[in-house]
Structure 1
Amino acid sequence: MTDQGDSNQELVPFEPDRARVDANIDSMVAYADHVYRVSQVLDFTTVIGIDVESGRAAALPIAALKPVAKEKVEGLYAYYDIAAVAAEEWAIAQKRYAAIQPLIGNVVVGRKEVEQRAEEVGVGAATLYRWLGKYRDWGELLALIPRKRGWQQGNSRISAEAEEIIRSVIKGFYLSHQRPTAQEAVERVKEACEAKNIASPSPSAIRARINQVSEKEFFRGRGFAEIARNKYTPSPGSFPGADFPLSVVQIDHTPIDVMLVDNVHRLSIGRMWLTLAICVHTRMITGYYLALDEPSGISVAMCVAHSALPKEDWLTVHGVEGEWPVWGFPVVLHSDNGPDFQAETLKRSCLLYGIENRFRPVKRPKFGGHIERLLGTFMKKVHSLPGTTFGNVDDRDGYDSEGKAALTVDEFEVWLVREILKYHQEYHSKIFMSPARKWHVGIFGNLGVDPLVGMPMRPTDPFTIQRDFLPSFERTIQHYGVEFDVRYYSEALRPWINAKDEETGKTRKFIFRRDPRDISVIWFFDPVLKQYFKIPVANQAFPAASVWEYRAAKKKAVDEGRAHINEELIKRYIIENRELVASAQARTKQARRQVERHRRHSKNVTPAQPQPQPVQAPQEQPAFATGMVDFDLNSFGDVS
């Protein structure tokens, strides 16, 4: 996976950035080195912002907005890779989240409600307030985990007295019916600090804390409690809990009922798999993923990442004109009980972003009816395409699906994106309007109808989102680097060679993440710097390959009875396989499918990086004309 830079830039660190932009009214956003307060939301692309310094209004593109930077708190788990969190700490966070969950969706959280809930869960009201505040400030479950050992309260650059003054001014002055500006609140903090003869925090630090005030608290404090209640209280729906946009998203897979062709000879390579996600309340398609391999954990991860991320660049890359204004994380991810949906990495990643994994009862397909009907609808659409396999044997009788196949994978994907946008605009009999209109009404409201929710929070760093959903693993770091199928090395690993765990005295294990479609690089999370480093394969001549390709080559070596298997041998077999496939692709569908799979993976197109990346050609290798054996590649797919 080469989502940021090439392999020569592995020493450039990337810090996890899970911040999201709140583009709703009265939220604080950053744009072109200025801080603005959103005064009006025009549509899904533009808001009107008021510069907090000059007071001037400006039209701001939502896609270019950034959150106002929060000051980093040492020891806070929000900066960690989620795999670094021990099971016991996850249990603490989940227990705290369960305690505050009934209060999270409330616009007005009264003292009586908090005290009642505190008594139910057996903690103090002040503790419950603190947990609720942490979750609202950071918007992720990691904030509820106790801070790392060694963190000291005095580490903050702002004194405790100044922090108390800021809290007091926000609560007693800024969140009042007089509705003062953020600049007036900054001045009030400065005056109070001067009166007590303590150092005043910087204006940016004060604004950062003002920006941490949730929109619901803002409405309540400034006299808009009723408006906020109407805006954010969901109304009943037909599917349990699917009462507002993104409240429930269903996801599932299906093989596509159409044969596709390779790019060179336009001959059949078989069918693909489609993973699709749908918002149950609005029927909007939130994301998809296409693969030549059977569904796996990576299929789910990529679909969820695509669902959460904005789609503007995705449409541009595929040359499709239109709007797909869907982004943000669902409250509930609803799926069947397949192992790809039950993966522990997926569960943790969903938990991190506040997504509840909910599984439909076994052998009760009606509980997944929305996504099942949608997949059925799209399969009917492909029956009009050349190369369709139709839905049953009778329809297929006398039709040569492979002989009629005409669309390449890229061409089919463009067709699919256009059909998705078309579907969004079509009348839906179950919701009595188009999905696009239902989505718009749910977020912005309509004449006489209050909005159910505001604009979904927009992720700012797509690569962090995507990495959080990639498979993770733990390995020790040796003098040669780290080994996982193949060996990887970078200078970023040097400080941790043979490092010992202080508590157990054993060799310490570190967290790595990898995209199974490209094992030429992995991501290493430095536990001290709280940053990721891209680690390339130690043998720089090793070609970019997917897990299935690597393991197919390894299987070939085993089948030949090799007593000693090394990377040079496996590299040779990968190259030999490609040469064999290249010469055979005009003759066999399986070989052409393998070529297309490698071509698709090597483009490194992901939800976080829709633009194809240039692929560095491997060094020229001698052709090995002997020793080739037949082997079956069908059982080697993407492995999560």
Structure 2
Amino acid sequence: MTRGFIHPRYHGRLERGRLILKKGNIYVNREDDEQYELIEYLDEDAQVMIRNLHTRQSKIASVHQLENLKVNEREDVSVDLSAISDEYWEKALEKYEMIKPLLNYEQHCPASVKERAKEVGVSDRSLYRWIQAYKSLGSIAGLVSRKRGWAEGNSRLSKEQDELVMTVINEFYLHKQRPTIEQTIREVQRVASQKGLDSPSRRTIRQRILRVSEEERLRKRGQKEKAKNKFTPKPNSFPNVDFPLSVIQIDHTPVDLIIVDNQYRKPIGRPYLTLAMDVYSRMITGYYLSLDAPSVTSVAMCIASSILPKERLLLDNNVKGEWAVFGYPNKIHVDNGADFRSLDLSKSCEAHGIALEFRPVGRPEFGGHIERVIGTFMKEVHGLSGTTFSNTKEKDTYQSEAEAVMTLDEFETWLINYIVNVYHKRVHSTLGMSPVQKWRLGIWGDKDHIGCGHPQLPVDEQTLLLDFLPSEKRTIQHNGVTIDGLRYYDVALNMYINDSDENGKSKEFLFRRDPRNIGKIWFYDPTLKRYFPIPFADQSLPDMSIWEYKQVRQLLKEKDEKLIHSQQIHDALTEMRKLIEQSAHRTKKARRQAQRQKVHAKSKVVLPTSLPESKPTETVKTPASNLLLDNDFTFGEIE
């Protein structure tokens, strides 16, 4: 169960980069705003030795105090993900595929770049520029072109041209004779001439060919055995897992435990757990605990939890121990459930340089690791009072509800303590060592192994979290903006009222909303490239969760009140909360609703106190070190 996360001093600026730590690199220390050279990694607990470039004095610091030294900052990529058009996003993905084999540092030699440039049909200079752009943010977002508009017909294929290219690729290029890319281009040009069509450009054809996955290319070009060896996992293994965070797996489960509410200590049912695990080391990288059934947001918040440091989480739950696991994964592996297949989730992962992959149908070994870990966790839960066990045979005559004693908060503390002080430290039968030992070996290495080095951190935690929040597109009217029948207004919207595009169509703007507290939404100003909190237009309305609002609407529908206005919502919400409170000591459903209400109340987003009522003329940046220490910075349960 995690809580609200928007920091009260959040400045609204998006910073979608990575902190990539390397000895000899220069960083800015947020404590004194001075530049330092990274001298040495001291231990696995995020401590480093840094040297002041001006005074030449050295000191110990946490990596969370450091930020990248910025040169030629790209303002045009400081935008909401949803604001990047599909056309430009596709172009960025194409560039990424071209430079992907060159992203390892040791492969930046001129010969490798020149060879790759010849292979993909672009200049060496372009590849160097794209590599630099990608690494400046550590994200595909760095490859998004500055918008200059389209020239009519430029780089666009007609339906006939598109079908022609795909036919030649499938029938000519993907053949056991293994024709070259150059031969395939000539074949496209030949067939186009025969059909009386204009041939697509050589670059376009190359880009289409490069979209073919390596597995498909090997398999269809007569190298099935090589494809099988490279991409088919063996039992209890996973392909291409060679270092920490190369692949993490995520899955959900209802917890085999009945919990009780905080007030009456009576049963309210089973919570749900979303768990993320590093396949290489079996370390738990993050989790999300909730009273609500798994959803897209459960996955998103678990991913954010996985990437962010855990010190504050341990402190909030009064757990003594170390959980020095954080950083961007290369790949996230999930099953094929609808909650994992959200396009917004996929785009958010891409923007942060994370590949989101789905378990192949009929290949259960791809998900076995996380499922076994969840099974291990539930066996431990079976030792707690109030367990439901895993089946009726195990449960026998045990009365789970009668024996239930733990609240959701208490179970979360137990869960964190078990992860940190038991599971991470216990020898894993497959690894031959504990997960924490395997993690340290992969990160730092030893005399026989080369470590991969410190994980990469997000430059700005708020941007990471906002990127994974649900988004909506709405027009702005003279009375504000309306979402789900609720009206929001602030002067920050004024200049966009009834705005239209070049075709005279009403323009839609981006908003993000925290479902735990819909009393305000976040408006992305496309001109200032900032977020602004927009409250209810009717300030008398109380804060509420989307879950409560749905219940209010259902209550009014049952009363046949078709025209819903603010006072009705206010009265219905008050009535509903009063009824829940009165009946909480009598019924399990009401107690669960009351507990969810309390959890959502804890999770409410706090308005940034530094944001004025109107748009600011300048932005004050809040150091991330302060964010981690502020009592209002927490991590949220979202329905």
Q: Is the 8 A contact 1:603 1:612 kept in 2?
A: no
- 1:559, CA displacement in angstroms? 2.2
CA shift at 1:13, angstroms? 4.5
Shift of 1:567: 2.9
**Residue number in structure 1 paired with 2:434:** 434
Residue of structure 2 in register with 1:155 after alignment: none
| 1:324-381 deviation per Cα after TM superposition (whole angstroms, max 9, x unaligned) | 1111111111000111110011001000011111100224322100100000000001
Name the residue aligned to 1:278. 277
The 10-residue stretch of structure 1 (350-359 or 485-494) with the greater mean CA deviation from structure 2 = 485-494
1:148 counterpart SS class = coil
Q: What's the CA shift for 1:609?
A: 7.8
1:571-625 CA-to-partner distances (Å, cap 9, x unmatched) read 221221111000000000011101111111111189998977599xxxxxxxxxx
Per the alignment, in what secondary structure is the counterpart of residue 340 of structure 1?
helix
Greater displacement, 24-33 / 243-252: 24-33
Q: Which amino acid aligns with 1:132?
A: I
CA shift digits 1:508-556 (9 cap, x unpaired): 1111111112111111111111111111111222222111211111012
Q: Alignment partner of 1:288: what SS?
A: strand
Aligned positions of 1:494-505 closer than 5 A:
494-501=494-501, 503-505=502-504
* Structure 1 Cα separation of the partners of residues 333 and 41 of structure 2: 31
- C-alpha separation in 2, matches of 1:129 and 1:360: 34
TM-score by length of structure 1 reads 0.78
Q: Which moved more, 1:376-385 or 1:512-521?
A: 512-521
Q: Is the aligned partner of 1:298 residue 2:297?
A: yes
1:384 positional shift: 0.5
1:108 alignment counterpart? 107
Over 3 Å counting, the alpha-carbon distance change for 1:69 and 1:111 in structure 2 is: closer
Distance 2:496 2:553 in 1: 30
Q: Which residue of 2 aligns with 1:18?
A: 16
- Give, as a single letter, the amino acid of the residue that structure 2 aligns with 1:411: E
Aligned-partner Cα distance in 1 for 2:558–2:117:
63
Tell me by how many angstroms 1:22 deviates. 3.0
Match of 1:215 in 2: none
Partner Cα separation in structure 2 for residue 362 and residue 548 of structure 1: 33
Percent same amino acid at aligned positions?
A: 43
For residue 280 of structure 1, report the CA deviation from its aligned partner.
Answer: 0.2
The residue number in structure 1 matching 2:215 is: none
Counterpart residue number, 1:56: 57
1:146 match: secondary structure: coil
SS of structure 1 residue aligned to 2:472: strand
| Residue 146 of structure 1: how far off its partner (Å) | 0.8
Partner residue, 1:249: 248
Q: Partners of 2:394 and 2:511 in 1: how far apart?
A: 49
CA distance in 2, matches of 1:291, 1:146: 40
| Distance in structure 2 (CA, Å) of the matches to 1:121 and 1:549 | 54
CA deviation map 1:244-291 (0-9, x unaligned): 110000000000000000011100010000000000001110000001
Determine the C-alpha separation between the residues in 1 that align with 2:343 and 2:567: 34
Residue 447 of structure 1 deviates from its aligned partner by 2.7
Match of 1:263? 262
Matched, 1:536 2:535: yes
Kept in 2, the 8 Å contact 1:428–1:434? The answer is yes
| 1:459 Cα deviation after fit | 2.2
Please tell me whether residue 141 in structure 1 is matched to residue 179 in structure 2: no
Paired residues of 1:22 and 1:29 also in contact (CA < 8 A): no
Partner Cα distance (1:610, 1:603) in 2: 18
Q: Is the 8 A contact 1:273 1:292 kept in 2?
A: yes
One-letter code aligned to 1:64: Q
Q: Select the residue among 26, 29, 37 that pairs with 1:28.
A: 26
User: Is the CA contact (8 Å cut-off) linking 1:604 and 1:613 kept in structure 2?
Assistant: no
Give the conservation status (yes or no) of the 8 Å contact 1:605–1:613: no
| Counterparts of 1:481 and 1:571, CA distance in 2 | 20
Match of 1:69? 70
Corresponding residue for residue 585 of structure 1: 584
Letter in 2 for 1:26: G
User: Cα offset for 1:53?
Assistant: 1.4
CA-CA distance at 1:455 after TM superposition = 0.3
In structure 1, the partner of 2:219 is none
Shift of 1:149: 3.5
Contact 1:295–1:340 (8 Å) recurs in 2: yes
Please say if 1:473 is aligned against 2:450.
Answer: no
Partner Cα separation in structure 1 for residue 107 and residue 327 of structure 2: 24
Is 257-266 or 362-371 further displaced after alignment? 362-371
Q: Is the 8 A contact 1:262 1:268 kept in 2?
A: yes
* 3-state SS in 2 of match to 1:30: strand
Cα distance, 1:13–1:48 mapped onto 2, change above 3 Å: closer
Q: 1:575 to 1:496 in 2, by over 3 A?
A: same
CA distance in 1, matches of 2:117, 2:491: 50
Q: Give distance in 1, aligned partners of 2:88 and 2:17.
A: 22
Unaligned runs of 5+ in 2: 150-233, 606-623
Distance 1:136 1:5, change over 3 A: closer
Separation of aligned partners in 1, 2:549 and 2:633? 21
Q: What displacement does 1:2 show?
A: 6.3
Look up the match of 1:509: 508
Secondary structure class of the residue paired with 1:107: helix
1-structure distance, mates of 2:4, 2:475: 23
Judge conservation of contact 1:24–1:41 (CA < 8 Å) in 2. no
**Inter-partner Cα distance in structure 1 for 2:249 and 2:63:** 27
Following superposition, the deviation at residue 137 of structure 1 comes to 1.9
1:357 matched to 2:353: no
Partner of 1:45: 46
Answer with 384-393 or 356-365: which moved more: 356-365
Offset at 1:397? Answer: 1.7
* TM-fit CA distance, 1:56: 1.7
Structure 1 91/612 Cα, relative in aligned 2: closer, same or farther at 3 Å?
same
Distance 1:372 1:54 in 2: 53
Cα contact 2:516–2:604 (8 A) shared by 1: no
Instruction: Give the Cα–Cα distance (whole angstroms) in 1 for the partners of residues 575 and 79 of structure 2.
Output: 41
Q: How far apart are 1:125 and its partner, in Å? A: 2.2
Q: 1:363 to 1:597 in 2, by over 3 A?
A: farther
State the Cα distance separating 1:68 from its structure 2 match. 2.2
Alignment check: 8 A CA contact 1:23 1:47 kept: no
Structure 1 letter corresponding to 2:363: R
**8 Å contact kept, 2:517–2:604:** no
Give the counterpart letter for 1:341 in structure 2. F
CA contact (8 A) 1:81 1:525 kept: yes
Distance 1:48 1:117 in 2: 38
Q: In the TM superposition, what is the alpha-carbon distance from 1:117 to its structure 2 partner?
A: 2.1
Contact 1:20 1:457 in 2 (8 A): yes
What amino acid sits opposite 2:50 in the alignment?
Answer: G
The verdict on how the C-alpha distance between 1:410 and 1:45 changes in structure 2, with shifts beyond 3 A counting, is same
Structure 1 gap segments, 5+ residues each: 151-235, 616-636
Aligned pairs for 1:392-411 within 5 A: 392-411=391-410
Residue-by-residue CA offset, 1:397-456 (whole Å, 9 max, x unaligned): 2111001000001000000000110211111111111111111111111133221x1101
1:4: Cα distance to partner? 4.2
Alignment of 1:540-559 (within 5 A): 540-559=539-558
Question: Aligned-pair distance for 1:299?
Answer: 0.3
Amino acid at match of 2:373: L
3-state SS of the aligned residue for 2:252? strand
Map of 2:488 onto structure 1: 488
Aligned match of 2:225: none
Q: Which amino acid aligns with 1:410?
A: D
Name the CA distance, whole Å, in 2 between partners of 1:591 and 1:401.
Answer: 19
TM-score of the superposition, structure 2-length normalised? 0.79
What residue in structure 1 maps to residue 455 of structure 2?
A: 456
